[in-house]
Amino acid sequence: MAVDALCFIGISRFGYELDAEVVLREFDTEGISTAVVAPMHPPHGDMATVNMELARVVRNSGGRFLAAVRVDPWDAAAAVEQVTGAVTEGGARALFLHPDEEHFRINDVRVRPIAERANELRVPVVVATGFHCVSEAVQVGRFAQWCPDVPVIMTNGGQLNISGLGQFDAELALRLPNVHILTSGVYRDDFLERTVKTFGADRVLFASAAPQFDVAYEKRRVHQVHLTDAERDLLLSGNAERIFGIGEVAR
Protein backbone atom coordinates (compact mmCIF):
# COMPACT_ATOMS: atom_id res chain seq x y z
CA MET A 1 0.00 0.00 0.00
CA ALA A 2 1.18 3.53 -0.79
CA VAL A 3 1.12 6.74 1.22
CA ASP A 4 0.16 9.99 -0.49
CA ALA A 5 2.43 12.67 1.02
CA LEU A 6 0.15 15.55 -0.02
CA CYS A 7 -3.38 16.12 -1.23
CA PHE A 8 -5.92 18.87 -0.57
CA ILE A 9 -9.40 18.71 0.91
CA GLY A 10 -12.10 21.37 0.69
CA ILE A 11 -13.07 24.20 -1.65
CA SER A 12 -10.46 26.59 -3.00
CA ARG A 13 -10.87 30.26 -3.73
CA PHE A 14 -9.02 29.53 -6.97
CA GLY A 15 -11.62 27.30 -8.54
CA TYR A 16 -10.93 23.70 -7.52
CA GLU A 17 -12.28 21.44 -4.82
CA LEU A 18 -12.07 17.89 -3.49
CA ASP A 19 -14.38 16.02 -1.15
CA ALA A 20 -12.92 13.58 1.38
CA GLU A 21 -15.22 10.72 0.39
CA VAL A 22 -14.38 11.18 -3.29
CA VAL A 23 -10.64 11.01 -2.79
CA LEU A 24 -10.92 8.03 -0.44
CA ARG A 25 -12.67 6.08 -3.20
CA GLU A 26 -9.78 6.95 -5.52
CA PHE A 27 -7.30 5.86 -2.86
CA ASP A 28 -9.07 2.51 -2.51
CA THR A 29 -8.83 1.98 -6.26
CA GLU A 30 -5.15 2.92 -6.36
CA GLY A 31 -4.02 1.07 -3.24
CA ILE A 32 -3.27 4.17 -1.16
CA SER A 33 -3.73 3.54 2.54
CA THR A 34 -2.98 6.95 4.04
CA ALA A 35 -2.57 10.57 2.97
CA VAL A 36 -1.24 13.79 4.41
CA VAL A 37 -3.99 16.31 3.72
CA ALA A 38 -3.88 20.09 3.77
CA PRO A 39 -6.76 22.56 3.55
CA MET A 40 -7.20 24.65 0.44
CA HIS A 41 -7.01 28.44 0.44
CA PRO A 42 -10.63 29.18 1.38
CA PRO A 43 -12.87 31.77 -0.29
CA HIS A 44 -13.19 33.58 3.06
CA GLY A 45 -9.44 33.55 3.69
CA ASP A 46 -9.75 32.35 7.30
CA MET A 47 -7.02 29.74 7.80
CA ALA A 48 -7.95 29.04 11.41
CA THR A 49 -11.44 27.97 10.36
CA VAL A 50 -10.34 25.65 7.55
CA ASN A 51 -7.72 24.07 9.81
CA MET A 52 -10.45 23.25 12.33
CA GLU A 53 -12.70 21.89 9.57
CA LEU A 54 -9.85 19.73 8.27
CA ALA A 55 -9.15 18.43 11.78
CA ARG A 56 -12.73 17.14 11.94
CA VAL A 57 -12.33 15.42 8.57
CA VAL A 58 -9.11 13.79 9.76
CA ARG A 59 -10.70 12.57 13.00
CA ASN A 60 -13.54 11.00 11.01
CA SER A 61 -11.25 9.32 8.47
CA GLY A 62 -10.45 6.24 10.53
CA GLY A 63 -6.74 6.92 10.29
CA ARG A 64 -6.71 7.36 6.51
CA PHE A 65 -5.82 11.07 6.73
CA LEU A 66 -3.11 12.94 8.63
CA ALA A 67 -3.47 16.71 8.93
CA ALA A 68 -1.04 19.31 7.63
CA VAL A 69 -1.83 22.65 9.25
CA ARG A 70 -1.83 25.53 6.76
CA VAL A 71 -1.03 29.07 7.89
CA ASP A 72 -0.61 32.51 6.38
CA PRO A 73 2.57 34.31 7.52
CA TRP A 74 0.76 37.63 7.15
CA ASP A 75 -1.12 36.60 10.30
CA ALA A 76 2.19 37.00 12.16
CA ALA A 77 2.04 35.73 15.76
CA ALA A 78 -1.39 34.22 15.17
CA ALA A 79 0.11 31.96 12.49
CA VAL A 80 2.74 30.69 14.93
CA GLU A 81 0.00 30.04 17.50
CA GLN A 82 -2.04 28.11 14.93
CA VAL A 83 0.94 25.86 14.14
CA THR A 84 1.56 25.27 17.83
CA GLY A 85 -2.07 24.43 18.64
CA ALA A 86 -2.57 22.24 15.58
CA VAL A 87 0.49 20.14 16.41
CA THR A 88 0.39 19.97 20.20
CA GLU A 89 -3.38 19.78 20.66
CA GLY A 90 -4.77 18.71 17.30
CA GLY A 91 -2.22 16.07 16.33
CA ALA A 92 -1.20 17.64 13.01
CA ARG A 93 1.77 15.81 11.49
CA ALA A 94 2.98 18.52 9.10
CA LEU A 95 2.96 22.22 8.27
CA PHE A 96 1.99 23.33 4.77
CA LEU A 97 2.96 26.70 3.30
CA HIS A 98 1.85 28.05 -0.08
CA PRO A 99 3.76 31.24 -0.91
CA ASP A 100 1.98 31.80 -4.21
CA GLU A 101 -1.61 31.53 -2.98
CA GLU A 102 -0.92 33.40 0.27
CA HIS A 103 1.31 35.98 -1.48
CA PHE A 104 4.56 35.89 0.49
CA ARG A 105 8.19 34.98 -0.17
CA ILE A 106 9.19 31.75 1.54
CA ASN A 107 12.55 33.30 2.51
CA ASP A 108 11.02 36.52 3.86
CA VAL A 109 12.05 37.25 7.44
CA ARG A 110 8.33 37.28 8.37
CA VAL A 111 8.29 33.53 7.74
CA ARG A 112 11.28 32.76 9.94
CA PRO A 113 9.32 32.55 13.25
CA ILE A 114 7.07 29.92 11.67
CA ALA A 115 10.06 27.92 10.46
CA GLU A 116 11.71 28.12 13.85
CA ARG A 117 8.51 27.02 15.62
CA ALA A 118 8.21 24.04 13.29
CA ASN A 119 11.80 23.19 14.14
CA GLU A 120 11.04 23.38 17.87
CA LEU A 121 7.97 21.17 17.43
CA ARG A 122 9.89 18.74 15.19
CA VAL A 123 7.17 18.91 12.57
CA PRO A 124 8.06 18.54 8.86
CA VAL A 125 7.24 21.39 6.50
CA VAL A 126 5.80 21.00 3.00
CA VAL A 127 6.32 24.05 0.76
CA ALA A 128 4.52 24.70 -2.52
CA THR A 129 7.62 25.22 -4.65
CA GLY A 130 8.51 26.50 -8.08
CA PHE A 131 6.50 29.72 -8.11
CA HIS A 132 8.39 32.62 -9.66
CA CYS A 133 10.07 34.95 -7.17
CA VAL A 134 8.20 33.61 -4.12
CA SER A 135 9.14 29.95 -3.74
CA GLU A 136 11.87 29.00 -6.14
CA ALA A 137 14.03 26.13 -4.93
CA VAL A 138 16.94 28.28 -3.82
CA GLN A 139 14.55 30.39 -1.74
CA VAL A 140 13.19 27.23 -0.13
CA GLY A 141 16.78 26.28 0.61
CA ARG A 142 17.16 29.47 2.62
CA PHE A 143 13.96 28.65 4.51
CA ALA A 144 15.27 25.15 5.22
CA GLN A 145 18.28 26.66 6.97
CA TRP A 146 15.90 28.23 9.51
CA CYS A 147 14.56 24.79 10.50
CA PRO A 148 17.55 22.46 10.05
CA ASP A 149 16.28 19.70 12.33
CA VAL A 150 13.11 18.88 10.37
CA PRO A 151 12.44 17.75 6.80
CA VAL A 152 11.50 20.50 4.37
CA ILE A 153 9.66 19.00 1.41
CA MET A 154 9.38 20.83 -1.91
CA THR A 155 6.35 20.14 -4.09
CA ASN A 156 6.68 19.74 -7.87
CA GLY A 157 10.16 18.30 -7.56
CA GLY A 158 11.31 21.76 -6.50
CA GLN A 159 10.37 23.47 -9.75
CA LEU A 160 7.26 23.81 -11.90
CA ASN A 161 9.39 23.65 -15.07
CA ILE A 162 11.83 20.78 -14.55
CA SER A 163 14.33 21.84 -17.19
CA GLY A 164 17.57 23.78 -17.46
CA LEU A 165 18.23 26.00 -14.46
CA GLY A 166 15.07 24.71 -12.78
CA GLN A 167 16.75 21.37 -12.25
CA PHE A 168 19.98 23.04 -11.19
CA ASP A 169 18.19 25.17 -8.57
CA ALA A 170 16.35 22.14 -7.19
CA GLU A 171 19.61 20.25 -6.89
CA LEU A 172 21.22 23.20 -5.14
CA ALA A 173 18.47 23.09 -2.51
CA LEU A 174 18.79 19.31 -2.21
CA ARG A 175 22.40 19.73 -1.11
CA LEU A 176 20.93 20.67 2.25
CA PRO A 177 20.40 17.40 4.12
CA ASN A 178 16.90 18.27 5.36
CA VAL A 179 15.47 19.12 1.91
CA HIS A 180 13.26 16.59 0.09
CA ILE A 181 11.00 16.61 -2.97
CA LEU A 182 7.57 15.33 -3.90
CA THR A 183 7.06 13.50 -7.18
CA SER A 184 3.78 15.19 -8.15
CA GLY A 185 3.88 17.05 -11.43
CA VAL A 186 7.48 16.06 -12.26
CA TYR A 187 7.35 15.12 -15.92
CA ARG A 188 11.08 14.38 -16.19
CA ASP A 189 11.68 10.75 -15.20
CA ASP A 190 15.40 11.30 -15.55
CA PHE A 191 15.26 14.09 -12.95
CA LEU A 192 13.66 11.77 -10.41
CA GLU A 193 16.12 9.02 -11.24
CA ARG A 194 19.09 11.38 -10.92
CA THR A 195 17.78 12.76 -7.62
CA VAL A 196 17.60 9.24 -6.19
CA LYS A 197 21.06 8.38 -7.50
CA THR A 198 22.68 11.63 -6.34
CA PHE A 199 20.93 12.35 -3.05
CA GLY A 200 19.40 9.01 -2.09
CA ALA A 201 15.99 7.38 -2.34
CA ASP A 202 15.15 8.65 1.14
CA ARG A 203 14.84 12.21 -0.20
CA VAL A 204 11.89 11.64 -2.57
CA LEU A 205 8.22 11.06 -1.64
CA PHE A 206 5.24 10.10 -3.75
CA ALA A 207 2.37 12.60 -3.69
CA SER A 208 -0.69 13.09 -5.84
CA ALA A 209 -1.28 16.77 -4.96
CA ALA A 210 -4.91 16.06 -5.86
CA PRO A 211 -7.09 17.66 -7.09
CA GLN A 212 -4.59 19.74 -9.04
CA PHE A 213 -3.08 16.50 -10.32
CA ASP A 214 -4.63 13.11 -10.97
CA VAL A 215 -4.18 10.44 -8.28
CA ALA A 216 -3.89 7.47 -10.65
CA TYR A 217 -1.53 9.23 -13.04
CA GLU A 218 0.76 10.45 -10.28
CA LYS A 219 1.01 6.96 -8.80
CA ARG A 220 1.85 5.50 -12.21
CA ARG A 221 4.59 8.12 -12.51
CA VAL A 222 6.50 6.49 -9.64
CA HIS A 223 6.12 3.05 -11.20
CA GLN A 224 7.52 4.12 -14.56
CA VAL A 225 10.73 5.58 -13.14
CA HIS A 226 13.73 3.23 -13.31
CA LEU A 227 14.37 2.32 -9.66
CA THR A 228 15.08 -0.79 -7.66
CA ASP A 229 12.14 -2.33 -5.82
CA ALA A 230 13.61 -1.17 -2.51
CA GLU A 231 13.96 2.40 -3.78
CA ARG A 232 10.42 2.43 -5.15
CA ASP A 233 9.06 1.19 -1.82
CA LEU A 234 10.75 4.12 -0.08
CA LEU A 235 9.19 6.61 -2.50
CA LEU A 236 5.73 5.07 -2.30
CA SER A 237 5.48 4.61 1.45
CA GLY A 238 8.63 4.19 3.50
CA ASN A 239 9.80 7.79 3.47
CA ALA A 240 6.37 9.19 4.30
CA GLU A 241 5.92 6.69 7.12
CA ARG A 242 9.23 7.78 8.62
CA ILE A 243 8.89 11.53 8.10
CA PHE A 244 5.25 11.91 9.17
CA GLY A 245 5.35 9.27 11.89
CA ILE A 246 2.69 7.07 10.34
CA GLY A 247 1.88 4.26 12.70
CA GLU A 248 2.94 6.30 15.72
CA VAL A 249 0.49 7.46 18.36
CA ALA A 250 -0.78 10.93 17.49
CA ARG A 251 0.90 13.76 19.37
Crossing angle of the two packed helices 47-59 and 77-88, in degrees rounded to 10: 10
Would you state the pLDDT for residue 164? 74
Q: First CA to last CA across the chain, in angstroms?
A: 24
Q: Give rounded-to-5 percent helix, strand, coil for the chain.
A: 50, 15, 35
Distance, in Å, from the CA atom of 130 to the CA atom of 190, rounded to the nearest integer, reads 18
Tell me the per-residue pLDDT of 181-214, one tens digit each, with 9 for 90 and over.
Answer: 999 999 899 999 999 999 999 999 999 999 999 9
DSSP letter (8 states) at residue 147:
S
Q: Is the dihedral of CA 110, 93, 149, 190 positive or negative?
A: negative
Instruction: Please list the residues that pair with 95 across neighbouring strands.
Output: 69, 125
Q: Which segments in the chain show pLDDT lower than 70?
A: 248-251
By C-alpha distance, which of 157, 159, 153, 82 is closest to 117?
Answer: 82
Q: Name the DSSP class of 93.
A: -
Write down the CATH superfamily of domain 2-244. Answer: Metal-dependent hydrolases (3.20.20.140)
- In the chain, DSSP assigns E strands to 2-11, 17-18, 32-39, 65-70, 94-97, 125-127, 152-154, 179-182, 204-205
Query: In the chain, where are the structural domains located?
Result: 2-244
DSSP β-bridge partners for residue 70:
96
3-state DSSP assignment of residue 14: coil
Phi, psi dihedrals of residue 67, rounded to the nearest 5°? -85, 140
pLDDT number for residue 248? 63
Cα–Cα distance measured from residue 169 to residue 21, given in angstroms and rounded to the nearest whole number: 37
